[in-house]
Amino acid sequence: MESRVLTITSGKGGVGKTTAAANISAALALLGHRVAVVDGDIGLRNLDAVLGLESRILYDLVDVVEGRCQLSQALIKDKRLPDLALLPAAQTRDKNAVSSRQMEQLCQQLRDQFEFVIIDCPAGIEQGFRNAIVGADELIIVTNPEMASVRDADRIIGLIEAAGKPEPLLLINRLRPDMIRRGDMMDVADVLEVLHVGLIGLVPEDESVIVATNRGQPVVLEPKSRAGRALTNAARRILGEEVPLEELESQPGLLDRLFRALGTNFNGKRG
Amino acid sequence: MHSQDAQNQPATDSESEELVEQIEHTEETSRTLARRLLKGTRNGLLLTLEPNYTWAQVLEVLTARLEEAPTFFHGALLSLDTRQRPLQAEELQTLQQVLTRYEMTWREVGGEELNDLRLLPGLTGRDSPLEGNSPDLPIRPGRDATDTLLTRRTVRSGQRLRYAGSVVVLGDVNAGGEVIAGGDVLVWGMVRGTVHAGYPENEQAVVCALGLAPVQLRIGSLTSRPPEDGSLAPAIPEIASVRDGQIVVESWNAGRGRRR
């Protein structure tokens, strides 16, 4: 089977990239796929903490590219999820410690061993971003339904376009149906109207994400969490399953509006 | 090592052999070299910088071609393909000297822009943001005001479209994106970014869009911003033009369109 390298990016920080990367990776592993998740945020790592694997780091990504260890020595197996492995970032270096070429080679090495390579991209549009997208076959943009993060997502989509990568898919995170209903938050159609890209998932704001993150436990392992279910559904869509988009609680007519938005936004590509 | 390198085709063996041949048959060299380095495109000349040739050789090829038809190239646009070799500062100086003689302008292209060059006549200088922002390139005001560039894309944040003639965008112009045209700008979509029609000072130019909610709208030397009372612009087709020294935005009524 062809392995797939998938980068999760956003431009803006704090929108939930790392949470999305950790949980989509965990969900794919739960669904029986061999997954490596790579922390691209050199110098500001926290994917390891989100996955609760911080204490097990011996070597990191920079050690691998600089030849101080074998790739297999740096990969951390997740005990809860035998199909998931983490390649942690170095904390004592910065984004310029790795070149795009080295990152590309690293992706190639990971392809040999895993079905999915998920890269958690750092915020920003500098070297760290370029490294995170250089080896990617597919990209997911995480955005929140607010102006600043949508604008950054737009900028990132332009950069991805310019890098000759395929069109990214959108994961809208931290949706709050109550605020949308009051007209205090952009809704899904508003976001799509600006960005004109396809959707991979809609994740509601959910306290269980914070609780799970603090415990170092992927939220997709918690069957009661709405965000966990939404992220699992995103993973299923990545696998090609047709999972209907979550009807956000108590928001009448959302899907109608959504489909209308999709219909008008993708008219250039439907043929 | 920048990211666009991945797209470049390395020189193949047959190409290097061709090079050897060229050096042997000096008689043939200049013409072959000219064909190799300098190509005519739909919107001007495309000069390719290759590491195997000196700047003097490149410049000679260019000068020879321009001398062949000085009036034809007058005011034209020269595109420089710098993917294989960057242009040095001192080289730029000598290039400027040559181009000034013909009142020509130049721009740098690479990677994706090269495709645009073939598909979109006259796209002058879309930023290549991954390589850092390119400097503002001169555009030729007025001269090509009858030319129209049709582009089928969303002009996204950080992207800039500059053209000496008029521009039609089939898509949106998002916040943070810019369209600068010597003539009119017509957007078949929403304008949320910055649009400058009639650059630098043609106040006859107009901007029309299916929805006008720009960050800033400029026509000629005038600038207008949306009202700051937070009211949302209606998403209806509108036209902006200059009247009595002011930018006026009106809804577009079919059949009552402004005729010039």
Model pLDDT, residue B24: 45
Give residue-wise pLDDT tens across range A52-110: 999 999 999 999 999 999 999 999 999 899 999 999 999 999 888 999 999 999 999 99
Terminal alpha carbon distance of chain A: 29
- Chains A, B: CB pairs < 8 Å: 60
Cα–Cα distance for residue pair B156/B3, rounded to 1 Å: 20
pTM, entire model: 0.68
Residue B121: is its pLDDT beyond 60? no
Q: How confident is the model at residue A259 (pLDDT cuts 50, 70, 90)?
A: low
The predicted model gives A133-160 an average pLDDT of 95
Of residues B74 and A261, more confidence is placed in B74
Instruction: Find out whether A63 and A90 touch, Cβ atoms under 8 Å.
Output: yes
Contact at CB, B111 and A158, closer than 8 angstroms: no
The predicted model gives B211-237 an average pLDDT of 82
Say whether residue A54 is in contact with chain B using an 8 A CB cutoff.
no
Model pLDDT, residue A255: 59
Residue A251: is its pLDDT beyond 70? no
Model pLDDT, residue A256: 55
Q: How confident is the model at residue B55 (pLDDT cuts 50, 70, 90)?
A: confident
Half-sphere exposure of B135 (CA within 13 A, CB side): 5
The full length of chain B comes to 260
Rounded to a whole number of angstroms, the CA Rg of chain B reads 21
Instruction: Find out whether B111 and B7 touch, Cβ atoms under 8 Å.
Output: yes
Model pLDDT, residue B47: 86
**Could you count the other beta carbons within 10 Å of the beta carbon of residue A269?**
9
Q: Per the structure block, which two tokens stand in for A175?
A: 């949706």
The torsion angles phi and psi of A138, rounded to 5 degrees, stand at -140, 155
Q: Which residues of A touch B1 (CB under 8 A)?
A: 99-101
Residue B82: is its pLDDT beyond 80? no
Q: How confident is the model at residue B229 (pLDDT cuts 50, 70, 90)?
A: low
- Of A266, A271, A270, A269, nearest to A192 (Cα)? A266
Contact at CB, B111 and A154, closer than 8 angstroms: no
Cα–Cα distance for residue pair B234/B239, rounded to 1 Å: 12
Strand partners, A142: A171
Instruction: Find out whether B181 and B165 touch, Cβ atoms under 8 Å.
Output: yes
Residue B10: is its pLDDT beyond 50? no
Q: How confident is the model at residue B128 (pLDDT cuts 50, 70, 90)?
A: very low
The predicted model gives B14-34 an average pLDDT of 53
Looking at chain B, which residue has its C-alpha nearest residue A98?
Answer: B1
Q: Per the structure block, which two tokens stand in for A132?
A: 């995170």
- Residue A97 three-state SS: helix
The predicted complex's ipTM stands at: 0.77
The predicted model gives B68-84 an average pLDDT of 77
Say whether residue A196 is in contact with chain B using an 8 A CB cutoff.
yes
Cα–Cα distance for residue pair A124/A130, rounded to 1 Å: 10
Q: Nearest CB to B176: which of A101, A151, A161?
A: A151
The full length of chain A comes to 271
Instruction: Find out whether A123 and A8 touch, Cβ atoms under 8 Å.
Output: no
Contact at CB, A159 and B1, closer than 8 angstroms: no
Q: Which residues of A touch B4 (CB under 8 A)?
A: 163-164
Q: Nearest CB to B111: which of A158, A164, A196?
A: A164
Residues 169-188 (B) with a CB less than 8 A from some CB of A: 171-172, 174-177
**Could you count the other beta carbons within 10 Å of the beta carbon of residue B8?**
11
Model pLDDT, residue B230: 58
- Residue A269 three-state SS: coil
Please give, rounded to a whole number of angstroms, the shortest distance from the CA of B134 to a CA of chain A: 14
Cα–Cα distance for residue pair A121/B148, rounded to 1 Å: 39
Q: Nearest CB to B3: which of A130, A157, A193?
A: A130
Q: Nearest CB to B130: which of A130, A154, A196?
A: A130
- Cβ neighbors of B13 (< 8 A, separation 6 or more) are none
B112-151: burial string, b at 16+ Cβ within 10 Å, e else: bbbebbeebbbbbbbbbbbeeebeeeebbebebbebbbeb
pLDDT mean across residues, chain A: 90
Model pLDDT, residue A263: 52
